[in-house]
C-alpha cells in the first residue's frame, strides 16, 4: 500500500510538449508555446465551469451569436479567456471563433499561426451538468508574417492543419490533441494544476457498437441514413447521444462508434461548422485510425469558402463510417 501511495503521477503536458519538440531539430518553439497557451486557458475555463452554479453564471447571456443560437454566459466567458490567452501568448495573428461574426485580429502581426475554435461546445448542457468541451484547430498562416492575417489564411482545407484538439470538461477534464504524429490525451489534476499524460497514442477501434445521432430529426434524414439506423437496431447496437459534440466524439473515440449529423430539411448543408468543428475532429480521428466524411467526401479535403460554413458529418470507427457510405450509396442508386 505504501508503494502505491508513492507511485509517480506521470508526464506533464509541458514536459511532453518539450520532449516532442526536441524530436524535431528545426522546431523553433512557437507551436509548443501556442499549445501551452491553450492549456492555460483550458485550466481557467475549467475553474469557471466548476463554480458556475455558485457564481450565477449559468443560463442565457441574452444575445445570439452569428449562428443565430442563444449565447450562454459561459460561452462568452470561455471566448474571452481563450482569445486573451492566445493574444497574450504572441504566436497567433488571427482567431476564428464560433462566437464572433468576423475574424479576430490579435495584434501579433508577426504571429505565424491561425487558430479556429469553438470555445465552449455543448454549452446548453451546462445547466444540467452534462459534459461540454472546447474544440480548436491550428493552421500556419500563408500570408507574410508582417501584418494581420488574411481571409485566405483562415479558409484553408483541414488537410493543412498543423495541430488540432479538444478539451472535455466532464467527470474529469481532459485535453486531447494531435500535431500529426498520433493522438495523446492528458487528464487535469486540479490539486497540482497540471495536465498529465493519461491516454498515450490513442487508437480508435476499427468497429464499434455505438451510434450517436439525434433521432428526433429522423423524418428529415436522407433515406440512406434512415436505412443505416434501422440496420443499427437490427444489430442491437447501442444508441448514445447527449447533444454535446465533444462528449459524444470522445466516448466513441475511446470505445468505438460512429457519430452522424447529416443534412436535414431544416439544415440542408448540415449543422456543424466545417472550419472549427469538423476539421479539428477529422484530423484527430484520422490520426487515431478512424474516418471522417460528409457522407461522400473526406472532411479534410473540403476547402471552405466561408468562416462559418456548415457541413454534414459522419465520423468514427472506419468500418462503421464505411457502412454508412454503403447505405447512402445504395439509396442513391435505387432512387
CA separation for the pair 120, 125 (Å, rounded) = 10
C-alpha cell at 15: 514536459
The answer to whether 271 is a known ligand-binding residue is: yes
CA separation for the pair 127, 77 (Å, rounded) = 15
The answer to whether 123 is a known ligand-binding residue is: yes
Query: In the Cβ-directed half-sphere of 311, how many Cα atoms lie within 13 Å?
Result: 31
The answer to whether 294 is a known ligand-binding residue is: no
The answer to whether 143 is a known ligand-binding residue is: no
Spatial contact of 256 and 205, defined as CB atoms under 8 Å apart: yes
Alpha helices for 155-244 (secondary structure H): 223-234
The answer to whether 241 is a known ligand-binding residue is: yes
CA separation for the pair 258, 248 (Å, rounded) = 9
The answer to whether 214 is a known ligand-binding residue is: yes
* Nearest by Cα to 244 from 55, 49, 101: 49
Q: Strands across the sheet with 291-293, in order?
A: 238-239, 210-212, 258-261, 313-316, 291-293
The answer to whether 207 is a known ligand-binding residue is: no
The answer to whether 122 is a known ligand-binding residue is: yes
* Nearest by Cα to 234 from 222, 226, 242, 243: 226
The answer to whether 46 is a known ligand-binding residue is: no
Which residue do the cell numbers 459524444 mark? 248
Cα torsion 236, 230, 204, 298 to 10°: value is 170
The answer to whether 311 is a known ligand-binding residue is: no
CA separation for the pair 30, 27 (Å, rounded) = 8
* Nearest by Cα to 288 from 186, 138, 176, 173: 176
Q: Residues annotated as binding site?
A: 98, 118, 120-124, 214, 241, 271, 277
Q: Residues annotated as binding site for substrate?
A: 121-124, 214, 241, 271
Q: Residues annotated as binding site for Mg(2+)?
A: 98, 118, 120-121, 277
Amino acid at each position: 500500500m505504501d508503494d502505491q501511495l508513492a507511485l509517480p503521477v506521470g508526464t506533464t503536458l509541458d514536459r511532453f510538449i518539450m520532449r516532442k519538440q526536441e524530436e524535431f531539430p528545426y522546431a523553433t518553439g512557437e507551436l509548443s508555446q501556442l499549445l501551452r497557451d491553450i492549456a492555460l486557458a483550458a485550466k481557467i475555463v475549467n475553474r469557471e465551469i466548476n463554480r458556475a452554479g455558485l457564481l450565477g453564471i449559468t443560463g442565457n447571456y441574452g444575445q445570439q451569436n452569428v449562428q443565430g443560437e442563444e449565447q450562454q454566459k459561459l460561452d462568452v466567458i470561455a471566448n474571452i479567456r481563450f482569445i486573451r490567452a492566445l493574444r497574450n501568448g504572441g504566436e497567433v495573428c488571427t482567431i476564428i471563433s464560433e462566437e464572433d461574426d468576423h475574424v479576430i485580429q490579435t495584434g501579433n502581426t508577426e504571429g505565424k499561426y491561425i487558430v479556429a475554435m469553438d470555445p465552449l461546445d455543448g454549452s446548453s448542457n451546462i445547466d444540467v451538468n452534462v459534459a461540454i468541451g472546447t474544440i480548436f484547430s491550428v493552421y500556419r498562416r500563408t500570408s507574410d508574417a508582417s501584418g494581420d492575417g488574411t481571409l485566405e489564411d483562415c479558409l484553408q482545407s483541414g488537410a493543412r492543419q498543423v495541430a488540432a484538439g479538444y478539451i472535455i470538461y466532464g467527470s474529469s477534464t481532459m485535453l486531447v490533441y494531435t500535431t500529426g504524429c498520433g493522438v495523446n490525451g492528458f487528464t487535469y489534476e486540479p490539486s497540482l494544476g497540471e495536465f498529465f499524460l493519461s491516454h498515450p497514442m490513442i487508437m480508435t477501434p476499427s468497429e464499434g457498437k455505438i451510434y450517436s445521432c439525434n433521432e428526433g430529426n429522423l423524418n428529415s434524414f436522407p433515406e440512406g441514413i434512415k436505412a443505416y439506423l434501422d440496420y443499427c437496431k437490427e444489430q442491437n447496437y447501442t444508441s448514445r447521444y447527449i447533444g454535446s459534440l465533444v462528449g459524444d466524439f470522445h466516448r466513441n473515440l475511446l470505445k468505438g462508434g460512429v457519430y452522424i449529423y447529416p443534412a436535414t430539411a431544416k439544415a440542408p448543408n448540415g449543422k456543424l461548422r466545417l472550419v472549427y468543428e469538423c476539421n479539428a475532429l477529422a484530423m484527430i480521428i484520422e490520426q487515431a485510425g478512424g474516418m471522417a466524411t460528409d457522407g461522400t467526401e473526406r472532411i479534410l479535403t473540403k476547402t471552405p469558402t466561408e468562416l462559418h460554413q456548415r457541413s454534414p458529418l459522419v465520423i468514427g470507427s472506419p468500418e462503421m463510417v464505411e457502412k454508412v457510405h454503403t447505405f447512402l450509396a445504395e439509396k442513391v442508386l435505387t432512387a
